[in-house]
């Protein structure tokens, strides 16, 4: 099994570009199902999750072609409307083909994604939304079986802010009859990216990026070309990589406001941050203070950067409290960080980190999920000696060429098979 070996103690310096956003690319690929014909995407990251999405599209009769970061999808009417368990279990986001298939073809059979490492992650709100649009839904044999002759617009209020739920219903409502209003919608930049693409296809969506999104249904959508937005989570991870080694790192090709919640916290911790139209730089720093964070939906601190920020706090001066309000059971990296010498007490949804500057030492550790794997690599960069991070396949789901990017900045990282 592949692992990542990190020799700690090298300061990271230099510039690096963010790749295309995983969480946007996946949903855009599924959204293409809404219009038969050829869709062209650019800035698509090369990731295992994108391969999983492509496999699901193949199983639904699509052809895909990749050339570097360009990605073409030729959508045809699927012979079967089923997203099989074997494909869905590899990637939970596969549930996002439910809305497009149901809206376009009046039918979808999608495997229930099941639990995952960071909590139960239900899809009840996706299903409630589809029902509100008039779909008949049954859960049978581990599958969601959905049917609707023609979806009809509705006003829907999300009880919890859900990124995937907002996206699924936005896609479905694009082809529904009438005007759908979604209240308490997620405001993540990926929602805006999806709405922009759907609007290029001929949809009539307003308000994406705010908590009220209005979708005037249209009878047909057409294929479109789209450039995937930059990955704000990868960008944030690379900024923290610079910070944790005390170096000066510039992450280019992103919209800095997408990671304001991180850069605000870094400034509070004592880092100097410079921002241009399309880059964020964290400047050299010898020591930093502990600060508290609470994860929450955008524009607040993203749960997807919680683990990486925790690594930074393990070597801060003072005690920080990290609250995880989005997912239960998202502290599995804590035990591994403790094996590297961190002093962390995890409670339900809260962790108390007693920082020790220079206090991490290299150790063999195991990644438990995607962002936890990044957090352990970051801790390895700051640790004395060698850290080997096992189960690195988690990292390949969501970070494009992370070791190459870190090596370019001066890290000593290598992959062993
Ligand atoms: C997306 C991101 C993921 C990120 C998360 C939160 C993708 C592919 N993944 O996941 O990286 O960590 O947003 O920013 O974009 N919930 C329900 N019922 C539902 C749906 C969600 O109760 O039907 C709950 C979840 O259990 C969770 C919260 O809502 O507590 C937020 O989840 P959600 O925003 O839906 O996350 P995902 O879209 O799965």
Q: Which atom of ligand 1 is nearest to the CA of 93?
A: 8
pLDDT band of 329, cuts 50, 70, 90 = confident
Which residue has a Cα nearest atom 9 of ligand 1? 23
Contact of 395 with 415, CB cutoff 8 Å: no
* Residue 303 CB–ligand 1 contact under 6 Å: yes
What's the distance, Cα to Cα, between the start and end of the chain in Å? Answer: 6
CA neighbor of 261 nearest in space, from 225, 294, 238:
294
* Residue 165 CB–ligand 1 contact under 6 Å: yes
Distance from residue 85's CA to the centre of ligand 1 (Å):
20
pLDDT band of 328, cuts 50, 70, 90 = confident
Please, which residues have CB within 8 angstroms of residue 261's CB and are 6 or more apart in sequence?
Answer: 299, 300, 301, 302
* Residue 123 CB–ligand 1 contact under 6 Å: yes
State which of 50, 88, 131, 162 you would mutate to test the pocket of ligand 1, scoring each by most atoms of that ligand within 8 A of its C-beta.
162
Q: Which atom of ligand 1 is nearest to the CA of 190?
A: 15
Which residue has a Cα nearest atom 5 of ligand 1? 163
Mean pLDDT for 359-379 is 95
Q: Please report the pLDDT score of residue 117 as a whole number.
A: 65
pLDDT in tens, 168-223: 999 999 999 999 999 999 999 999 999 999 999 999 999 999 999 999 999 999 99
Q: Please report the pLDDT score of residue 121 as a whole number.
A: 78
Mean pLDDT for 223-242 is 98
Distance from residue 121's CA to the centre of ligand 1 (Å):
7
Whether pTM exceeds 0.95: yes
Give yes or no: 375 in active site: no
* Residue 164 CB–ligand 1 contact under 6 Å: yes
* Residue 168 CB–ligand 1 contact under 6 Å: no
Contact of 266 with 247, CB cutoff 8 Å: no
State which of 160, 298, 369 you would mutate to test the pocket of ligand 1, scoring each by most atoms of that ligand within 8 A of its C-beta.
160
Distance from residue 382's CA to the centre of ligand 1 (Å):
30
Which of the following is catalytic: 97, 116, 338, 375?
116
Cα–Cα distances in angstroms (integers) from residue 142 to residues 55, 88, 89, 193, 385, in the given order:
20, 11, 11, 31, 47
CA torsion 41→16→48→61, rounded to 10°?
0
Give the C-alpha separation, 325 to 350, whole Å. Answer: 9
Cα atoms in the Cβ-side hemisphere of radius 13 Å centred on 299: 13
pLDDT in tens, 259-273: 999 999 999 999 999
Please give the mean pLDDT across all residues of the chain.
Answer: 96
Residue 39: phi and psi, rounded to 5, are -110, 140
Pairing of strands 107-111, 82-83: parallel
Q: Which atom of ligand 1 is nearest to the CA of 297?
A: 14
Distance from residue 308's CA to the centre of ligand 1 (Å):
19
Please, which residues have CB within 8 angstroms of residue 376's CB and are 6 or more apart in sequence?
Answer: 311, 333, 336, 337, 340, 365, 367, 387, 389
Contact of 6 with 377, CB cutoff 8 Å: yes
* Residue 364 CB–ligand 1 contact under 6 Å: no
* Residue 23 CB–ligand 1 contact under 6 Å: yes
pLDDT in tens, 84-123: 999 998 898 999 999 999 999 999 999 998 655 666 678 9
pLDDT over 70 for what percent of the chain?
98
Residue 6: phi and psi, rounded to 5, are -120, 125
CA neighbor of 217 nearest in space, from 178, 264, 247:
178
pLDDT band of 367, cuts 50, 70, 90 = very high
Give the C-alpha separation, 11 to 383, whole Å. Answer: 11
SS3 of the chain: CCEEEEECCCCCCEEEECCECHHHHHHHHHHHHHCCEEEEEECCCCCHHHHHHHHHHHHCCCEEEEECCEEEEEECCCCCCEECHHHHCCCHHHHHHHHHHHHHHCEEEEECCCCECCECCCCHHHHHHHHHCCCEEEEECCEEEEECCCCECCEEECCCCCHHHHHHHHHHHHCCECEEEEECCCCCHHHHHHHHHHHHCCCEEECECECEEEEECCCCCCCCEEECCECHHHHHHHHHHHHHCCCCEEEECCCHHHHHHHHHHHHHCCCCEEECCCEEEECCCCCCECCCEEECCCCCECHHHHHHHHHHHHCCEEEEEEEECCCCCCCCHHHHHHHCCCEEEEECCEEEEEECCCCCECCEEECCCHHHHHHHHHHHHHCECEEEEECCHHHHHHCCCHHHHHHHCCCEEEEEC
Q: Please report the pLDDT score of residue 170 as a whole number.
A: 98
Which residue has a Cα nearest atom 21 of ligand 1? 162
Q: Please report the pLDDT score of residue 1 as a whole number.
A: 80
* Residue 122 CB–ligand 1 contact under 6 Å: yes
């Amino acid at each position: 099994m592949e692992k990542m070996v990190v020799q700690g103690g090298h300061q990271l310096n230099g510039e690096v570009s963010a790749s295309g956003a995983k969480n946007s690319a996946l949903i855009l690929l599924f959204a293409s199902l809404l219009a038969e014909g050829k869709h062209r995407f650019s800035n698509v990251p090369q990731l295992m999750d994108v391969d999983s999405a492509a496999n699901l599209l193949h199983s639904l009769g699509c052809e895909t072609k990749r050339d570097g970061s360009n990605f073409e999808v030729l959508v045809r009417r699927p012979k079967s409307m089923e997203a099989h368990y074997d494909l869905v279990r590899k990637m939970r986001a596969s549930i996002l083909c439910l809305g497009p298939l149901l809206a376009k073809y009046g039918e979808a059979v999608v495997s229930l994604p099941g639990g995952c490492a960071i909590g139960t992650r239900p899809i009840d709100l996706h299903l409630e939304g589809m029902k509100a649009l008039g779909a008949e839904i049954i859960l049978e044999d581990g599958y969601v079986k959905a049917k609707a002759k023609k979806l009809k617009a509705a006003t829907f209020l999300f009880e919890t802010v859900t990124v995937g739920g907002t996206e699924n219903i936005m896609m479905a409502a694009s082809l529904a009859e009438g005007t759908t209003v979604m209240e308490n919608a997620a405001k993540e930049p990926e929602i805006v990216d999806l709405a922009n693409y759907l609007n290029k296809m001929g949809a009539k969506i307003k308000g994406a990026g705010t908590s009220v999104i209005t979708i005037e249904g249209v009878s047909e959508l057409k294929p479109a070309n789209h450039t995937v937005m930059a990955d704000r989570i990868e960008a944030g991870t690379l900024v923290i990589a610079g910070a944790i080694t005390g170096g000066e790192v510039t992450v280019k090709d992103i919209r800095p406001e997408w990671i304001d919640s991180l850069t605000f916290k870094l400034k509070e911790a004592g880092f100097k941050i410079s921002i241009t139209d399309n880059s964020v730089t964290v400047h050299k720093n010898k020591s930093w203070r502990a600060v508290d964070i609470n994860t929450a939906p955008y524009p607040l601190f993203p749960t997807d950067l919680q683990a990486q920020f925790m690594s930074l706090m393990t070597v801060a001066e003072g005690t920080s409290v990290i609250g995880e309000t989005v997912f239960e059971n998202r502290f599995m990296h804590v035990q591994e960080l403790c094996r590297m010498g961190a002093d962390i007490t995890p409670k339900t949804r809260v962790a108390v980190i007693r920082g020790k500057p220079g206090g991490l030492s290299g150790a063999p550790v195991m990644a438990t999920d995607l962002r936890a794997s990044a957090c352990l690599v970051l801790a390895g960069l700051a640790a004395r000696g060698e850290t080997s991070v096992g189960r690195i396949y988690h990292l390949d789901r969501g970070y494009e060429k992370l070791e190459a990017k870190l090596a370019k900045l001066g890290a000593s990282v290598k992959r062993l098979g």
